[in-house]
Amino acid sequence: MKKLRYITIAAFSMALLASCTEFLEEEPTKTSTVVPSTVEHLERLLNNYGNFASEPSREIAFGTDDFGLSTDFFNASNSAYGIMTVQFATWDKQYIPNADAPYWTTEWKKIFIANMVLENLDRVEGSIETKEQLRAEAHFIRAYSYFKLADVYCLPYNQSTKNEMGLPIKKSTSFEEPIERASLESTWDMMKEDMEIALTLEKEFGTFQGQKKIWRASTVSVNAFAARFYLTLNDYEKAEEYADLALSEYSYLRNYNTDMRYSDLPTQVTIFNPEPENVDILYPYTHDQQNIPTDKFEWGESYYYRFLTNGSWNYYPSQELLNLYDQDNDLRYKYHIVENYSYARGIVDPPYSQPGYIFFFKSDILSGPSVPEMLLIKAEAQTRQGRWNEGLTTVNILRNARMDQSAPSTLIQLNATTQDEALVKILEERRREMPFVSRWHDVRRYNNNETGIDDVEMTKIFYPYNASIILKNDAPILYTLEKNSRRFANPIPEQELLTSDWIIKQNTY
């Protein structure tokens, strides 16, 4: 019987171990009997942050109203958007199953590694204390990836959806373990069980060669993830509790007034308007190092090293997103919204000016739990529990680090006169602080909580398309993702269903 690609990773798992220096000297195979023998081997496996950090989700990068889809931009250049970008941006159901969507496989590989660690803990040599730390960390990794997969490929979890299809429950690396999709309730029950074990981790947020060890789980990173986890379940008391625990241990915020700057290497492009004209494109300094993670490690606000990655380099903010920023005083707009970014993408003759969102290089935005996210979770949880003045005080801690300090205090500080007004302003601040990486997750939970004030129906107007081309000569049409759409569960890649002998079922629409 064929199995999921992530399950047929016996060779892949051994290759991961081979990447650990001084562990294996020859290329392993599916039938290899080489196994880790000490806790140090497992430590090296988890220290390989390249196995865990990247989250290559087109579903998240393009599938919200943070991503701008413009007929004017496409009219200026047919290279503005690729066909898959448009399909993901308009919540397609027909063609996406056959598209290249690596996120499913990427997260299952992480789960496989976590299961591999758990299976070998009782077989390897090492102290009980170290083994228990590794056990908690592996459960954290598994819970984290299940959470991310459910967020993209399953419906939002609530009482009305608990019997819908969830994910396969994989607690081992065995080829014989069933791979049918469990119920959504069973999937979340497994995550909760993993979370409870992960929360037993007692490990300082340490350093290595001067860098915060954000690529490894720690007590603070687990608490931060727990805050995100319980916010998703609308358990605001627990979300606030765990956000507080994380912030009490580590609360560094980068002050954009003093700790941000433009790159010393501006890109100069020539546009034709119609005569040649040179234009400098200003990037934040974090743009410069494509393949070196130093800037990400030194950023200082992260609890756990994960980033959304977009190989197309096209985080084009929607006008709706751009309008949320105080473009004169919000330093996030100054440094992360790169004016004329489309020129650097070759749209110069004729030129069309479209900004891009840049955080690290052109492809990566930190998505793991962070200090700003904990402040936003705490502020939101306080407000939803009726303590909205406290929520505003909390969110203004973040604002003070992001807004130009020469601006009037009335522009720096958020104020409100009602709970609903405070909630709306705090959620807008969350969107300004965490565009692209959090919007898909947020819209799902806004549409499935106790209030309707934060409900979102996403729409885009763009040309129709087929499997391979955008039909530019046809009239633009309205694409809508309604509040309760089943399309909030993205299609699983068809190849993954095929390699499971169709044991894994596709989402229904």
pLDDT one-digit tens code per residue, 234-293: 999 999 999 999 999 999 999 999 999 999 988 999 999 999 999 999 999 999 988 889
- Residue 286 inside a domain? The answer is yes
Q: Are residues 47 and 142 both part of a single domain?
A: yes
Which of 389, 414, 437 terminates a domain? The answer is: 437
Q: What is the pTM of this model?
A: 0.94
Is residue 402 domain-shared with residue 314, that is, in the same domain? yes
277-318 tens-digit pLDDT: 999 999 999 999 888 899 999 999 999 999 999 999 999 999
Q: In this model, does residue 399 exceed pLDDT 60? A: yes
Residues 312 and 173 occupy one common structural domain: no
Q: Pull the structure tokens for residue 443.
A: 């819209």
- Residue appearing with tokens 């590989």: 109
Site of tokens 């730390």: 133
Whether 503 is covered by a domain: the verdict is no
The torsion defined by the Cα of 273, 274, 280 and 283, in degrees rounded to 10, comes to 50
Residue 25 neighbours by CB under 8 Å, 6+ apart: none
Place of tokens 């990068």: 61
Contacts of 113 (CB under 8 A, 6+ apart): 13, 16, 45, 46, 51, 52, 141
How many C-beta atoms surround the C-beta of residue 461 within 10 A?
12
Residue 3 has pLDDT above 70, yes or no: no
Chain mean pLDDT for the chain: 93
The pLDDT score that the predictor gives to residue 423 is 98
Domain interval for residue 47:
1-56+102-203
Q: What is the DSSP letter of 284?
A: B
Asked whether the predicted pLDDT for residue 74 surpasses 80, the reply is yes
Do 145 and 254 fall within a single domain? no
Residues 48 and 10 in one domain: yes
* pLDDT, tens only, 323-358: 999 999 999 999 999 999 999 999 999 999 999 999
Q: Which of 203, 234, 263 represents a domain boundary (last residue)? A: 203
What is residue 210's predicted lDDT score, i.e. its pLDDT? 76
Strands 165-168 and 181-183: antiparallel
Token reading at 377 = 């979770």
Regarding whether 144 and 82 lie in a shared domain, the answer is no
DSSP assignment of 425-480 equals HHHHHHHHHSTTTTHHHHHHHHTTSS-STT---EEEEE--B-SS-B-TTSPPEEEE
Confidence of residue 8 (pLDDT cuts 50, 70, 90): very low
Domain shared by 146 and 249, yes or no: no
Same domain assignment for residues 284 and 382: yes
Mean pLDDT of 387-397: 98
The pLDDT of residue 34 is: 58
Indicate if the pLDDT at residue 361 is higher than 70. yes
Q: Is position 509 within any domain?
A: no
> Rounded to an integer, what distance in angstroms lies between the CA atom of residue 182 and that of residue 164?
9
DSSP 262: B
| pLDDT tens for each residue of 10-55 | 333 433 444 333 332 333 334 344 578 999 999 999 999 999 999 9
Q: Is the Cβ–Cβ distance between 356 and 378 less than 8 Å?
A: no
| Residues 6 or more apart in contact with residue 384 via CB below 8 angstroms | 236, 423, 450, 451
Same domain, 79 and 96: yes
Same domain, 271 and 334: yes
Q: What is the pLDDT of residue 92?
A: 98
3-state SS assignment for residue 127: coil
Answer yes or no: do 350 and 465 share one domain: no
Please identify, among 180, 203, 226, the residue that sits at the C-terminal boundary of a domain. Answer: 203
Give domain status of residue 430, yes or no: yes
